[in-house]
Amino acid sequence: NAGVMQNPRHLVRRRGQEARLRCSPMKGHSHVYWYRQLPEEGLKFMVYLQKENIIDESGMPKERFSAEFPKEGPSILRIQQVVRGDSAAYFCASSPRDRPYYGYTFGSGTRLTVV
């Protein structure tokens, strides 16, 4: 069990390009959460997904950001027309729904740099 896998680890995009961040949850975990950490700041909740459903997207910016967790394959966080302010570390976490109180298992993150 390789844990939560995020790729790429580092991503550089020019302003206006699209960024796609992938997250494969731990085996047996059906709940995925995305968090963003801006430089010198804490973890900010973005979105909570289950397979084929967005449960809570209250932390997602209203424009340019979207997330999905398809029936097959990894969860994708997509940022369209990136701007410099999108530069941050994006962390994905997963949990097994039947044991929510074990907390989340985080991936190592994707560091997005917009140039």
Partner 1 sequence: DQQVKQNSPSLSVQEGRISILNCDYTNSMFDYFLWYKKYPAEGPTFLISISSIKDKNEDGRFTVFLNKSAKHLSLHIVPSQPGDSAVYFCAASALANDMRFGAGTRLTVKP
Which amino acid, 7?
A: N
Nearer Cβ to partner 1, position 18 or 56? Answer: 56
Alpha-carbon Rg of the chain, whole angstroms?
13
Please list every residue from 1 through 30 that binds partner 1, using CB under 8 A. Answer: 4, 6
User: Comparing C-alpha atoms, which of 23, 72, 75, 28 is closest to residue 49?
Assistant: 75
Is 61 among the residues that bind partner 1 (CB under 8 A)? no
Size of the site for partner 1 (CB under 8 A): 24
**Whole-angstrom distance, CA of residue 7 vs CA of residue 91:** 10
Is 85 among the residues that bind partner 1 (CB under 8 A)? no
Nearer Cβ to partner 1, position 19 or 32? Answer: 32
Is 69 among the residues that bind partner 1 (CB under 8 A)? no
Is 44 among the residues that bind partner 1 (CB under 8 A)? yes
Is 104 among the residues that bind partner 1 (CB under 8 A)? yes
Interface stretch with partner 1, choices 14-22, 44-52, 62-70, 74-82 (CB under 8 A): 44-52
**Whole-angstrom distance, CA of residue 53 vs CA of residue 56:** 9
User: Comparing C-alpha atoms, which of 71, 2, 90 is closest to residue 30?
Assistant: 71
